Amino acid sequence: MISIRNPLLLLLMLHEAIQYHDGIYGPGLHPKEVVMPARYFFVNITSIVGQKYTSKLNNDFAVEIEGTSAKTHYCRIWVNKLNRKDGTFIVRYKVYETCNDLSISLYYKSKHIGGSPFTFKGPILPDQCYCPEKNFDKWFKQYDCPKSYDKVTHDLELYGKVNMKTQLKKIIHRFHKPESTSFCHYVVKNNKIYRNCYGKHVGFNMFADNILLFLARKVVLPDIELIINLGDWPLVRKGTEPLPIFSWCGSDETVDILMPTYDITESTVENMGRVTLDTLSVQGSIERDWSERESKAIWRGRDSRIERLKLVDIARANPDLFNVSLTNFFFFRDKEQDYGPKQPHISFFKFFDYKYQVNVDGTVAAYRLPYLLAGGGMVLKQDSPYFEHFYGLLQPWKHYVPVARDLSDLTKRVKWALANDNEARTIAENARKFANNNLLPQHIICYHAVLFSEWSKRIDSEITVDDGMTHVPQTPFTCDCKTDQRREDHQEL
């Protein structure tokens, strides 16, 4: 919750406060304070109209989001209504230009519901605007980010005060092996981003660039210096001197500082953009209700680990329980005869034509887990030494069904699910709740913000931009950042 110390701000907020029905909530209802590529909010239509869920509700519920722009009469907005088929909807909208007088209208059978329309005086900024809030704490509260995450506290525990100049030297000395590792040294100074990369395969620095650029557009970041590992494997082995390297995947054997994976991060900063699979879209692009789904476990993927071949064996022995295929051979090309032919990709959304979802490691943790959880399938998760930033919060038998690393009990687990449909369904529902509480774009943004701001407090050395570092510029985009209404009114005269 937002605590308000400034009485003037309180007055302003009271003035603007909108009373929302309990069934309408989410960050997309604070479009001025929370700037995202796709703003989103939730509508529980059954609670608003006091009716039980039927599939007809989809047609009876309508959304309209409009605003005016300086250049044209209406501003360009794309609205996306995602039906979760449980009486609730996710509404997403992307504004392509600065909008004034934004209004959000919700209709049921063509009548306004829940206090709609909701109107907001502008400017409502698109994600591309470089209009950073100067006060980090203020921004942080507006975004409704938690003060800390246990995982961040845990990961940073190893570091008291850090001299990045000496740590960087040590990291380069120990890990700079161009053929096998790639990492970048980032400096954020005066909200500008610079980097120097090491290694042969540095294309993934695009993902690290994107989240830093994203944050810097929203808020003036504290000056920081960090080293981001661009590979999937974590690097800093337990028992060696802990050196601060930020990685996307962790393991039982290593102490790397975890960031959300590039995959879920990209789906956050490219929401309703380049990326179409994300923890929101997967909730609304599913055809079948639980009861209509096939009672089988589905899996598709490439041959990146031996258990994935084993999974094919298990599925062949139990065709009534599984629908499993490899989609590509790369690591075990010589086995294509036995485990092929490879099958074409199917849309991720089609996975949810089935009740049970198998999650088997690839080279490291399978980065699809967030989408499997959000999609509302019952996830059968292989035991694994690898993890993403949020795994510590997952509980076996609550959010997923655990499976032995060698998959020896997988068939037994599927049979259990078949015999216990209610429990299986509850696990699937818990998984989706978990995703909605931990894995939506807002959470991914907050996690980075907490991580980077906590990290900045530990850096003891002066943060400087070294000679030869590459400046990573924002994409130019014309915006009027002014929020002072009177001045805007004045301009119009």
Ligand X SMILES: *[C@@H]1O[C@H](CO)[C@@H](O)[C@H](O)[C@H]1NC(C)=O
Least Å distance, CB 300 to ligand X, is 8
Give the Å distances, CA to CA, from 121 to 91, 135, 483: 20, 22, 10
Task: Return the number of the residue (53 or 331) whose C-beta is nearest ligand X.
Answer: 53
SS3 label, residue 410: helix
How far is the C-alpha of 75 from the C-alpha of 102, rounded, in Å? Answer: 9
Least Å distance, CB 397 to ligand X, is 22
Task: Return the number of the residue (86 or 409) whose C-beta is nearest ligand X.
Answer: 86
Q: Where are the beta strands (DSSP E) in 115-182?
A: 118-120
Least Å distance, CB 92 to ligand X, is 17
401 closest CA partner among 413, 411, 391: 413
Q: By Cβ distance, which residue is nearest to ligand X? A: 47
Least Å distance, CB 280 to ligand X, is 15
Task: Return the number of the residue (340 or 392) whose C-beta is nearest ligand X.
Answer: 340
43: which residues sit within 8 A by CB, 6+ positions away? 23, 24, 61, 63, 88, 89, 90, 91, 106, 114
The DSSP code for 128 is T
Task: Return the number of the residue (112 or 345) whose C-beta is nearest ligand X.
Answer: 345
Task: Return the number of the residue (342 or 350) whose C-beta is nearest ligand X.
Answer: 350
SS3 label, residue 117: coil
Least Å distance, CB 71 to ligand X, is 40
Token reading at 211: 């989240």
SS3 label, residue 308: helix
Least Å distance, CB 429 to ligand X, is 9
Q: Where are the beta strands (DSSP E) in 289-440?
A: 294-302, 322-328, 354-359, 378-382, 386-387, 401-403
Task: Return the number of the residue (344 or 476) whose C-beta is nearest ligand X.
Answer: 344
Least Å distance, CB 17 to ligand X, is 22
Least Å distance, CB 343 to ligand X, is 8
Task: Return the number of the residue (22 or 150) whose C-beta is nearest ligand X.
Answer: 22
Asked if 68 contacts 100 with a C-beta cutoff of 8 angstroms, the reply is yes
What order do you get walking across the sheet with 39-44 strand by strand? 24-25, 39-44, 88-95, 77-83
Helix or strand run (H / E) with residue 57: helix 57-60
DSSP for 258-304, written as a single string: E---HHHHHHHHTBTTTB---TTHHHHS----GGGSEEEEEEEEE--
Burial of 66: CB neighbours in 10 Å, binned 0-12, 13-18, 19+? middle
Task: Return the number of the residue (266 or 353) whose C-beta is nearest ligand X.
Answer: 353
Least Å distance, CB 406 to ligand X, is 24
Least Å distance, CB 286 to ligand X, is 13
Least Å distance, CB 350 to ligand X, is 5
Burial of 123: CB neighbours in 10 Å, binned 0-12, 13-18, 19+? buried
How far is the C-alpha of 304 from the C-alpha of 415, rounded, in Å? Answer: 26
What are the residues binding ligand X (CB under 6 A)?
23, 44, 46-47, 86-88, 323, 346, 350, 353
Burial of 434: CB neighbours in 10 Å, binned 0-12, 13-18, 19+? buried
How far is the C-alpha of 397 from the C-alpha of 400, rounded, in Å? Answer: 5
Place of tokens 């650029």: 213
